[in-house]
Amino acid sequence: MIILGIDPGTTRTGFAVLSFTRNRISLIEYGCWETKKISQGERLQELYKNLNQLIKKRNPRYLAMEKVFFFKNVKTALSISEAIGIVHFLSTKHHLSLIELTPLEVKQQLVGYGRAKKKSVQELIKACFGFTQIPQPDDAADALAVALAGINKVFKKL
């Protein structure tokens, strides 16, 4: 089965595609879409286009997304909420099982401690996939973590 991990944002959205069976997890692709120098409407349109193409290309069964629940800045909260809406819409459009995970849940699933440092999760991702360094930007590493935590959550349900 294929899972797509998303770290939602409007100026940067991290993504990761993993293949998994009960015995093996394989990295298919990961990265980050950046849309800094265009309007909010154009960013959302770009996110829709990129995510829709990736879903069609990789045909995932699951979509795991970081569920953001706290913002220091209301303007940022509204902007990211719009991006989250695009992700929700596309997961429904493509009949994907949506798995929403808070940052605390991602850390709990991967490191066993919800208050772990982000660096601990990044080091785990680096080791798990055999990277020589932590994936950059952070949004890409976060998407890998979300996808991996999504797999853990799915298998606990099976």
Positions marked catalytic: 7, 66, 139
Q: Per the structure block, which two tokens stand in for 92?
A: 């429904």
Distance CA(108)–CA(2), nearest Å, equals 22
- Nearest residue to 5 (alpha-carbon basis) of 124, 100, 122: 100
Q: Per the structure block, which two tokens stand in for 118?
A: 């982000």
Whether the bond between 8 and the residue before it is cis, its omega within 30 degrees of 0, is no
Number of residues written out for the chain:
158
The sheet with strand 62-66 has its strands ordered as: 25-34, 12-20, 2-7, 62-66, 97-101
Give residue 153's Cα distance to chain centre.
14
The CB density around residue 21, as the number of other CB atoms within 10 Å, is 8
